[in-house]
Amino acid sequence: MERKTGLVFFPAFDWAISPTHPEREERLLYTRDQLFEEGIMDLPQISEYKPRMATHKDIARAHFCVPDVATQITEAHLFAVGGALVLADALMNKEITNGFALVRPPGHHAMRVAHGNRGFCNINNEAIMIEYLRQKYDLNKVVIVDTDVHHGDGTQDMFYHDPDVLFISFHQDGRTLYPGSGFCDELGGPNAFGMNINIPLQPNTTDEGIHYVLENLVLPIIEDFKPDLVVNSAGQDNHYTDPLANMRFTAHGYASLNEKLNPDLAVLEGGYAIETALPYVNTGIILAMAGLDYSWVREPEYRPEDFYETKDRMDYTKKLVSYLWEVWKNREELGAEKYPRNGDFLELSRHIYYDTDSIREQQYEDIRLCDDCPGYQVIRSRGMYPYGSSKLIEAIGIHPRACKSCQEEARKLYEEKKKDYQGVDVIYLQDKVQDRYFQYSKDGDVEVTDEQQTTR
């Protein structure tokens, strides 16, 4: 096949969180001007695709939306994730070599349970895309590399107990930036230990530092893991002009990162330097993915002499890389040490904050420990909303490779919970083996289908 890069450009020029919010109509306006003026869409190496509307079922594969899918989304969300799905199909049908979904709104802070918007995200575009690909095509191992400056805590949560999806996020250290997570010890649950790699970098890290991480850690791990698919969760806010973060990455750095990483699919995440970074970073990424020369792409005020890595920062980065490489190599022993297998379940609990919607969530997870398969999880979550209201849900998620007995156990559990649901607003069954998704509430038992595309 001739090399082709698929592109979905969905700037949602008629959608904003609020008029002055960073996630507003204007965000990709200058990017449009730059891409269109360059004639990018006319290049023989580029195929432009139109986004489709994702369905509720697409979303229910990844999320437990409270109280239902329609409440958590707008049309823009359906088109944004639909854009990623269009490219996923085009890739699998071998129409394209790789693809970039330049869509908004973003998604990498959206977790499995979705009570509302966190970090500008309601639903997780990459996670929905990967669950879709796993159901529709023969695909086992996936790597997601999150290149956004913020820790991709939503995507981490999505696959924390999934040994088939390796999540790698490099980002500005959570002690200095939203969402305040993404530390080296968040390595994955008992069924997927080592499948979650966080690389917290010091503020002001430049291209040199990030490329060191890429070449000495990210790429070797990927090579070792041998995935069927590489996804770039492509935030652009490591850029030196980004108003919401403090890194020193350039358009050229982003382009060459994509050249080296060579993702099959990239999905736009954050990036809020809408004039000074996005037009150039997006052009650079597209050219790199299409195998074209990106050396002419540069920011107007870019002066190479302003960008250098200090010895201290480089020492820190190198130490971090060698530490994490050791962790990766010894993940099995380390996992056994951290999560000794006694009993059928491991219980975890945590508190989650939704900055955009001011929601606090208390969550308990029962992780099924099975010797034969990745099992299932039972989540009990209470969302505490502004002005005192709250919702309690219980959700069962079955891994696509769950063994027969885990599947039966989980389905039975759902039936039992339905009989005794006092105080629980919604009970969910996410059956990724049968690709069927149910939710039970006072309205009865409802199966989420592909026919549903409505919003509230």
Partner 1 sequence: MFIGLDVGGTYTDAVLMDGRKITKKTKVPTDNDNLFDSLLNALDPLLEAVKGKNLERIVLSTTLITNLIATKNVDPTALVIIPGPGLNPSTYDYKVPHTFLLSGAIDYRGREIDPLDEQEIKTCAQKIKEAGLKRAVVVGKFSQRNKKHEEKVASYLQEEIPGIRVAMGHQVTGRLNFPRRVFTSLLTIATQERFRTFYSEVLKLLEQRGISAPLYILKADGGTISFDLSAKKPVETIFSGPAASTLGGLALTPKGETTVVVDIGGTTTDLALILSGEPLLASRGAHIDDKLTHVRAFATSSAAVGGDSCLQVQDGLLQIMPYRKGAAYCLGGTHPTPTDAMRVTGITDIGDEKQAVKAMELLGKDLGIGPQKAAEHVLEKTVQRIAGEIEAMFIAWEQEPAYRIWELQQRKKIRPQNLVGIGAASPALLPLLGKEMGCSALTPPDADVANAIGAALAKTNLRLTFHFDTQRNFYFIEETGVQEKLTDIDSLADAESFSMRRLKEEGERIGISAKEEPELVYSELFNMVRGWRRGGRLIDVCVQFPTGIIEYLEEGDA
**Measured from the CB atom, is 41 or 336 closer to partner 1?**
41
Q: For partner 1, how many residues bind (rule: CB under 8 A)?
A: 47
Which part of the chain contacts partner 1 (CB under 8 A), choosing from 45-53, 218-226, 434-442, 443-451? 45-53
Q: C-beta of 91: minimal distance to partner 1 in Å?
A: 17
Q: For residue 67, what is the DSSP state?
A: S
Q: Does the footprint of partner 1 cover residue 10 (CB under 8 A)?
A: yes
Helix (H) or strand (E) segment spanning residue 45 = none
Q: C-beta of 239: minimal distance to partner 1 in Å?
A: 15
Helix (H) or strand (E) segment spanning residue 288 = helix 278-289
Which residue in 2, 5, 1 sits closest to 287, CA to CA? 5
Q: Does the footprint of partner 1 cover residue 15 (CB under 8 A)?
A: yes
Query: What is the pattern of x (binds partner 1, CB under 8 A) and - over residues 403-422?
Result: --------------------
Q: For residue 239, what is the DSSP state?
A: B
Residue 388 near residue 394, CB atoms below 8 Å: no
CA distances from 445 to 71, 212, 312, 381, 426 (A): 17, 51, 58, 19, 10
Is 211 a residue of the active site?
A: no
Selected from 76, 111, 221, 281, the binder of partner 1 by CB under 8 A is 76
Selected from 17, 92, 244, 292, the binder of partner 1 by CB under 8 A is 292
Q: C-beta of 210: minimal distance to partner 1 in Å?
A: 21
Selected from 297, 359, 395, 398, the binder of partner 1 by CB under 8 A is 297
d(CA 178, CA 223): 30
Catalytic residue among 109, 150, 151, 252: 109
3-state secondary structure of 164: coil
Q: Does the footprint of partner 1 cover residue 106 (CB under 8 A)?
A: no
**Measured from the CB atom, is 40 or 448 closer to partner 1?**
40
The three-state DSSP-derived secondary structure of 132-153 is: HHHHHCCCCCEEEEECCCCCCH
Q: C-beta of 82: minimal distance to partner 1 in Å?
A: 9
Q: Looking at the DSSP assignment, which residues form a beta bridge with residue 431?
A: 398, 436
Q: Does the footprint of partner 1 cover residue 298 (CB under 8 A)?
A: yes
Q: Does the footprint of partner 1 cover residue 355 (CB under 8 A)?
A: no
Q: C-beta of 452: minimal distance to partner 1 in Å?
A: 16
Footprint on residues 220-279 left by partner 1 (CB under 8 A): 275, 279
3-state secondary structure of 196: strand
Selected from 4, 5, 6, 9, the binder of partner 1 by CB under 8 A is 9
Torsion of CA 380, 383, 388, 389, to 10 degrees: -80
Angle at 265 between CA 263 and CA 268, to 5 degrees: 105
Structure tokens at 373: 């398969």
- Quick one: 124 exposed, middle or buried, by C-beta within 10 A (0-12, 13-18, 19+)? buried
Measure CA 449 to chain center: 23
The set of residues, in sequence order, having a beta carbon less than 8 Å from that of 374 and lying 6+ positions away, is: 161, 162, 163, 164, 191, 192, 399, 401, 402
Q: Does the footprint of partner 1 cover residue 293 (CB under 8 A)?
A: yes
Residue 208 near residue 184, CB atoms below 8 Å: no
Q: Does the footprint of partner 1 cover residue 51 (CB under 8 A)?
A: yes
Q: Does the footprint of partner 1 cover residue 13 (CB under 8 A)?
A: yes
Q: C-beta of 7: minimal distance to partner 1 in Å?
A: 9
Query: What is the pattern of x (binds partner 1, CB under 8 A) and - over residues 16-35?
Result: ---xx---xxx--xx-xxx-
Selected from 132, 280, 354, 438, the binder of partner 1 by CB under 8 A is 280
d(CA 188, CA 156): 8
Which part of the chain contacts partner 1 (CB under 8 A), choosing from 130-138, 216-224, 296-304, 419-427? 296-304
d(CA 164, CA 182): 20
Q: C-beta of 107: minimal distance to partner 1 in Å?
A: 17
Return the active site residues.
109
Binding interface with partner 1 (CB under 8 A): 9-15, 19-20, 24-26, 29-30, 32-34, 36-43, 48-51, 53, 75-76, 79, 275, 279-280, 283, 287, 292-300
